[in-house]
Structure formats: C-alpha cells, structure tokens
C-alpha cells in the first residue's frame, strides 16, 4: 500500500471513530448527501427494509439469502468508497502537478520581467552618460579634436598639447564604450521583454489548466466525501440488520432499529457538544486578531523554513511553521473555502479565498483533520484543521502559503504588513 493510500485509509478509520471535534463536519456532509443527493449511484440499490429483515427471520433459507445480500451490499459500499477515494487522490495529484507547472512558469515570467527592467534601466543610464560626454566633446570643438587643438594658439608648449590630445582621445574612447554598453543593454532589454511576454502567455495557459485541474479535484473530493458519508450512514443500518438476522433468539428487529435511532440521537448530542467545545477551545486559545483582520494560523509555533530559494536548489512556495502533530490550525483571515482535500505532495490541503485577489493555503493536514468544506464561509481565527505530515513531509508542520492573484508571495512579509509576526 502506498503512503498516499495509507493516509487515505487512516482518514477513513479516523472518520469512523469520529473525534468529537470532527463530528460537526462529518454530519454536515451527511446532511448534504441526504438533502441534495450529491452522489447518486449509477443504479438504484435495493436496500432491505426492516420489514424485509423481520420477514426473513421466520424462514431459514430466506434468512440466509438476506444475510448474503446484506454482506454483499456492505462490501459493495466499501468498494465504492475506495474507488471514489482513489479517484480523488488521482485528481488531487493532477491538480498539484498543474499547480506546480503554473508556479514554475510564474517564477520564470517574474524573473524575466525583472531582468528586462534592469537591462532597460542600465541602457537608460548608459545613454544618459554617453549623451553628457557627447555634449562635452561638442563644446570642446567637435569630433575633430586633434585639428581643433593644433589650431589653438597656446603658450603651453608641445608637452601640454600632447596631454590635451591624450585626454580628448580617452574621452572619445570612453564615449564610444558607454554608447556600446547602452546599445547592448537596450538589445538585452528588448530580448528579455520578448521572452517575458512569451513566458507570461505560457503562464496564463497553465493558469487555466491549473484551475481546470482544481475544479476536477474538488468534484472528485466531494464525490469521495459524499460516498463516505453515505457508506457510514447506510452501513450502520446494514450492520444492525445483519446482527438482527444472525440473532437466534426470539427478539424482533424492533430492538435493533431502536438502537440505530438511539445512535443517531447520541451523535446529534455529540455534535452539539462538539460545537460548544470548539467555541470554548477557540476562546481559550486567546487568538490575537490584528486591526487588519488577520491572525496567526498556528499561534505559539515558530518558522522552520522560509519562503524562497533553498540550499537544495528548489524554490519554497510558502513558510513552514513547526506546529506539533494534532495541534489546531486556524483561518488566517475570513473568507471562502475554495479547496479542501488531497493535492499530491501537499497532502491534505485547504485553500481559502479572502477577496481582492488574496488567498491562503494550509498543507500537510493530518488524516481526517480537515474540518471545513468547499464553499463554506470561515471567520478569522476559526479552527479549520489539525496539523499533520501528509504528502511530501518529513514531520508534522504547517506549510502556509499566501497568493496574490494566483502568484505566491512571502507569507512572513505579507503577514507582518498586516500586524501578525511569525
């Protein structure tokens, strides 16, 4: 089993035992499944009713047939969950690759643009210097300096004359050299500008491809979450029905059905308790919100790796914060969740759009640790996940990204400008 598959399996196990702080999120998904039928099966599944189970108990052959049917349905649900999760992993990996290609093209376009601007500035400076020397030469008597000096009546003598001739010759050489530099810089600027335009065009094409891949990954994650919620809900009923069929006592299925209802009641109570506990935990954290409306995504922890080029030669697109395994992660500012799921080397990832072209990303979230869904509105300081080490990660930490109109920027500098220090 691959590391990604192991992580997905761990996510499934963690959802089955539902830590109290995750109950709210899971039940919300269940409500979506029931209310909006997000994931309709390709064909109508004929699940047995409780009356079917009661009738089958009276006949051994019918009971055995019903047991086999229910066992097949449970196995089928599990297979469907695994298939949708595998598809979500595949689409998430494709999204990460598309995003990486865009980021590489974006860095190239920005570098070429900066180099073109530097060359243009160099050409402008050299042209100004060449112009000043040309004006000085003109005031000294035009381009034929030697003849001009020979015609001058001077009492300086031949030595002084030769010195003046030498100085003027050096000035001409200097002027020609500066002019050549200006022309070279101008040509470089024009060439780099053309390369930058080509890179920008390629970058925009890759941006569209990345957005398409993201939408496909979102759809696949939603399908996987919906199928998991459906499986959790239906499997609970099927397992209870299976237990009722296998029970050799004279009990009717009414007791088992009542048990299912009691379980639902307990889950609802747990949901309410989880909401209260989450609110209390948020207050206890004492999260500081700046005047600009921003907060630290992992308060109490320091930076372990900064944004930019690293010693191994790769460009780090975010800032790593060394928060411990299972510690809470918070929305850095209010906004709308645009992605919540697997994304290749990022592992479990959340992206939030804050408006004005600003978005943030939270990567390597723990298995089952995503507590929000796509389209959900979140508030600054709201817990959205728990720290993990999924994807390409060697230890628990938060990889935190800030993007401006899709391009990454230094999170430490960005947050400092908004009153939050890392």
The residue extents of the domains of the chain are: 1-285, 303-416
Dmax (CA) of the chain: 136
Q: What is the pLDDT of residue 40?
A: 41
Per-residue pLDDT at 16: 36
Tell me phi and psi for residue 238, to 5 degrees. -65, -40
Q: What pTM value is reported for the model?
A: 0.58
pLDDT digits (tens, 9 = 90+) for 268-323: 787 777 666 665 665 566 678 899 999 999 998 999 999 998 887 889 999 999 99
The span from the CA of 287 to the CA of 324, in Å, is 17
DSSP character string of 135-202:
HHHHHTTSS-HHHHHHHS--SS-HHHHHHHHHHHHHHHHHHHHHHHHHHHHHHHHHHHHHHHHHHHHH
Nearest to 369 by CA among 18, 2, 3, 6: 18
| 256 membership: H or E segment, kind and range | helix 254-285
Residues of the chain with pLDDT under 70: 1-45, 134, 137-172, 248-253, 274-286
In CATH, what is the architecture of 303-416?
Distorted Sandwich (2.70)
Model pLDDT for residues 173-193, shown as the tens digit of each residue: 777 777 788 888 888 888 988
3-state secondary structure at position 46: coil
Both structure tokens of 288: 């500081």
């Amino acid at each position: 089993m691959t590391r990604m598959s192991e992580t997905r399996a761990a996510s499934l196990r963690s959802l089955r035992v539902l830590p109290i702080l995750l109950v709210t999120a899971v039940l919300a998904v269940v409500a979506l499944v029931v209310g909006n039928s997000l994931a309709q099966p390709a064909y109508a599944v004929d699940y047995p009713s409780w009356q079917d189970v009661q009738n089958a108990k009276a006949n051994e052959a019918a009971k055995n047939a019903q047991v086999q049917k229910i066992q097949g349905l449970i196995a089928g649900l599990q297979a469907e969950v695994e298939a949708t999760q595998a598809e979500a992993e595949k689409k998430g990996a494709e999204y990460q690759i598309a995003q990486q290609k865009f980021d590489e093209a974006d860095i190239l376009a920005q570098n070429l643009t900066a180099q073109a601007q530097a060359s243009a500035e160099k050409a402008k400076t050299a042209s100004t210097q060449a112009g000043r020397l040309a004006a000085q030469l003109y005031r000294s008597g035009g381009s034929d300096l030697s003849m001009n000096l020979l015609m001058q009546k001077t009492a300086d003598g031949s030595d002084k004359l030769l010195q003046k001739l030498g100085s003027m010759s050096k000035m001409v050489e200097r002027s020609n050299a500066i002019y050549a530099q200006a022309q070279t810089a101008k040509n470089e600027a024009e060439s780099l500008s053309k390369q930058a335009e080509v890179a920008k065009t390629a970058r925009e094409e890759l941006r569209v491809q990345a957005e398409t891949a993201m939408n496909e990954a979102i759809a696949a994650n939603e399908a996987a979450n919906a199928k998991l919620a459906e499986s959790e809900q239906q499997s609970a009923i099927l397992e209870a029905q299976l237990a009722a069929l296998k029970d050799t006592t004279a009990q009717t299925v009414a007791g088992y059905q009542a048990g299912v209802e009691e379980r639902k009641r307990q889950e609802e109570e747990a949901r309410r308790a989880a909401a209260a506990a989450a609110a209390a935990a948020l207050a206890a954290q004492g999260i500081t919100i700046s005047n600009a409306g921003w907060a630290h995504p992992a308060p109490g922890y320091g930076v372990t790796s900064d944004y930019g080029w690293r010693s191994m030669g790769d460009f780090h697109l975010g800032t790593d914060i060394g928060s411990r395994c299972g510690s809470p992660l918070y929305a850095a500012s209010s906004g709308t969740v645009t992605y919540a799921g697997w994304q290749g080397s990022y592992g479990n990832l959340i992206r939030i759009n804050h408006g004005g072209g600003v978005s943030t990303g939270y990567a390597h979230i723990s298995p089952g640790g995503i507590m929000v869904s796509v389209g959900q509105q979140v508030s600054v300081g709201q817990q959205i996940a728990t720290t993990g080490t999924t994807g390409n990660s060697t230890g628990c930490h938060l990889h935190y990204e800030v993007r401006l109109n899709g391009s990454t920027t230094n999170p430490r500098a960005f947050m400092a400008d908004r009153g939050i220090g890392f």
